[in-house]
Amino acid sequence: MTPEEVFLAVARGVSNREYDDLHELYAEQTDVRHPMNPFGDHPLLSREALREHFASAASLVGDVVRFEPVGIRIHHTSDPEVIVAEFSYAGTVTATGAPFSVPGIFVLRVRDGLIVESRDYIDHVAMMRARGQVEKLIDVLREPVGAPAAS
């Protein structure tokens, strides 16, 4: 798969809740980071770590929200392995029908059809608000600077 096809598979796989298979889009040794995560950037350095990451995401999202990737714009770089993908997850809070939008930019390096490196800049706070998890965020924000972040 091309880098663009791999990104689309990840974005659509997340929105379609295909969490059991998403880790297979990543190389055995990879480097995935979420620099904007308010709980701290905990690098995911293997396919197994990604499998665990997506398994935990399944429990967070549940049936609380429904969303899909929209406004996808792929920017190619001078390096054929690297793309920058701009998009938003547009969705609805299941219980209330309230709409929400979560903007994101992913910078992916794809080699031989697998993600070997990714920087996922996504608005975690917007997604937490949609999922009704603001109190969890507030608890983390109250922790002293330098304290170990909760996950």
Give domain limits for the chain.
Answer: 3-142
Rounded to whole angstroms, the Cα distance separating 111 from 91 reads 31
3-state secondary structure of 94: coil
Torsion, Cα 81 82 88 92, to 10 degrees, reads 40
Per-residue pLDDT of the chain (151 residues; tens, 9 = 90+): 999 999 999 999 999 989 999 999 999 999 999 999 888 889 999 999 999 999 887 776 667 788 999 999 999 999 999 999 999 999 999 889 999 999 999 999 999 999 999 999 999 888 888 888 888 778 877 877 666 655 5
CATH of 3-142, one of 3.40.630.150, 1.20.90.10, 3.10.450.50, 3.30.470.10: 3.10.450.50
